[in-house]
Amino acid sequence: MKLVAINENGMRMGEGHGRAKLSDEDVELIQSLLECRDMLIDEYTKVGLTWGFIRNVLAEKQLSYRGIAVKFEISKSHVRHIANGTVRARAAVGWKRAV
């Protein structure tokens, strides 16, 4: 018996949704990479480095949206949506059996 996450309306969400491109584990990894990216940006802006330099470092470390997208074989906009919380931002309110 497989359980899938559901939202407040009883609809499937996360990797249990039929159109999901990523597993929940992959989304968590992307969110961790985005947190590392944000920490680097904060550190570099505090010491006064230019955005051009910061962008180059992010690209080098594959922490740009493009670098992350290539690793997970998704689009840059998908990474941006995860970063902005418009995709996979809600927690499940329940579980139901998958049919």
Task: Please give the chain's pLDDT, 99 residues, in tens.
Answer: 788 888 888 888 878 787 888 998 999 999 999 999 999 999 999 999 999 999 999 999 999 999 999 999 999 999 999 999 887 767 778 888 877
Contacts by 31-34 with C-beta closer than 8 Å and gap 24+?
A: 31/82, 33/63, 33/68, 34/68, 34/79, 34/82, 34/83
What pLDDT, on the 0 to 100 scale, is given for residue 10?
82
What pLDDT, on the 0 to 100 scale, is given for residue 61?
96
pTM of the model: 0.83
